[in-house]
Amino acid sequence: MEKRDFDAVVVGSGPNGLAAAITLQEAGLNVLLVEAKDTIGGGLRTKELTLPGFHHDVCSAIHPLAAQSPYFKNLPLHQHGLEYIYPSVAAAHPFDNGTAAALLPSLAETAQRLGTDAKAYHRVTEALVKDWPQLAPAVLGPLRFPRHPIAMAQFGLKAMAPATTLANHYFKTLDARGLWAGMAAHSIIPLSHMATSAIGLVLMAQAHLHGWPLPKGGSQSIANALASYFTSLGGKIETGFHVKSLAQLPSSHAVLFDVTPRQLLEIAGDSLSSLYQWQLKRYRYGMGVFKVDWALSGPIPFTAAECRNAGTVHLGNTLEEIAASEQATWHGQHPEKPFVLLAQQSLFDPTRAPEGKHTAWAYCHVPNGSTQDMTQAIERQVERFAPGFRDLILARHTMNTGQMEAYNPNYIGGDINGGVISLSQLFTRPAVRPSPYRTSARGLYLCSSSTPPGGGVHGMCGYHAADQALKDVFGLRAKKLS
């Protein structure tokens, strides 16, 4: 193999880019990671967005998949400064009657609080909680014949169902149906669509297995720990390196891109086959997000006690209201009562705000590319379940879809999932190919959330892409996941 400046170059330092770079470096390669921004992290960044001393997660905030990712859990990240904090209530879901459903570490206790739906909740979640350690590498990877086909089939029968169908089959109570709707709405597609149950099931299982943690000091801590481990292995990182063409990159045997199809076309289009370019141009992006961060004079005064102890709160009342909101947004509308995902990290991490003060983080789904200001709609939803909330606001910072994309170019039109995670793009993202990570050009690979298994901070897209590159180009294999 001829001499090059580096064995491999990774473009983009989000969790998948970092995972790819580490996997290649662990295999003994000489790897360069380049990042367009001045700081690494992609969706893993923390900044003082509102007032001095108030530290806000710019993009991702709560990390059910990160702490126990089949890839990340095998890395010594705690030795590089990463510490997770586990709220006693993973997620809470308030209702207009002043009560709330709660997703707790204990499956049995969560089910018990659902009253007559307790047995149904066990039937929906129990098998997946038991089987998840064996299923995780398959679920969080490319389409392959599973090592545990019976367990996978049992999961798949529920996972492929529309969330509304699963709810109507199993749940009768306000609490169970609302709690389920909030989980499934993380899919960022209408709850009537196929496969919307998959993300809800996985999130519930994570809560009962490991909780929904937040990283001490902010999501930047995850990126910093990954980068620290990568450089400890001898890897090199260069920030402020905005790649617009392949010609800018130093010579290497392989290049892995933590970007979406649209950016890949801009950077390397001339090197790709016409068929592959056609496939990438057909790739579909999903709904965007409108995000608000608040500096607060005190904790959010939720009426329901469960919400006051939860790291994450889903605001949307009933399943029917959430389903209608998501459906309307999918069709280009801006509901007056959007489904809102809210995190209150400072309740558990005192490093996030000055003593006695607090932060809050929230977003709602909007049509892709929307520029409509949803601040008032989001704040009305918070006030609805926490009267007096507005009186606590010291400052706010907002980001519409355009600002989200400007901050992180992977968020096309505000889509934080790197493309719709629909049935047609679940395992074939970004194109129907023997390997979703290979491009049509030798030595060029895609390692972003636009490849299986899609969005989320888990690093699995990067790991699998790096494994493919190691096999194809270097005749090596990545370390096996335990």
Q: How confident is the model at residue 181 (pLDDT cuts 50, 70, 90)?
A: very high
First to last CA, the chain: 31
> Residue 109's pLDDT is what?
98
Residue 101, CB-side half-sphere exposure with 13 Å CA sphere: 29
Per-residue pLDDT reduced to its tens digit, 3-32: 889 999 999 999 999 999 999 999 999 999
Residue 237 or 424, more confident: 237
* Residue 3: predicted pLDDT: 81
Give pLDDT, residue 424: 80
pLDDT at 220: 98
Q: What is the structure's pLDDT at 1?
A: 72
pLDDT of residue 144: 81
Whether the pLDDT of residue 335 is over 90: the answer is yes
Across 301-313, average pLDDT: 98
Section 288-298 average pLDDT = 98
Mean of pLDDT over the chain = 96
pLDDT at 4: 87
The predicted pLDDT at position 93 comes to: 98
| Residue closest to 234 by CA, chosen among 51, 72, 31 | 31
Q: What is the pLDDT of residue 428?
A: 84
Segment 79-138, tens digit of pLDDT: 999 999 999 999 999 999 999 999 999 999 999 999 999 999 999 999 999 999 999 998
The answer to whether residue 196 scores a pLDDT higher than 90 is yes
What lies within 8 Å, CB to CB, of 127 at 6+ separation is: 151, 154, 155
What average pLDDT score do residues 392-411 get? 97
Instruction: Say what the pLDDT of residue 222 is.
Output: 98
Q: CA 67 to CA 403: how far, in whole Å?
A: 29
Q: What pLDDT score does 422 carry?
A: 85
What is the pLDDT, as a whole number, of residue 211? 95
Percent pLDDT > 90 in the chain is 94
Place of tokens 């290049």: 255
Q: What is the mean pLDDT of residues 344-357?
A: 98
pLDDT digits (tens, 9 = 90+) for 244-284: 999 999 999 999 999 999 999 999 999 999 999 999 999 99
Delimiting residues of CATH 3.50.50.60 domain(s) in the chain: 8-47+59-82+215-283+419-474
The CA distance from 376 to 133, in Å, is 42
Rounded to an integer, the average pLDDT of 148-176 is 95
Band (pLDDT 50/70/90 cuts) for residue 145 is confident
> How high is the pLDDT of residue 143?
81
What's the pLDDT band for 174 if we cut at 50, 70, 90?
very high
For 8-47+59-82+215-283+419-474, CATH gives 3.50.50.60
Buried b (16+ CB within 10 A) or exposed e, 391-416: ebbeebbbbbbeebbebbbbbbbbbb
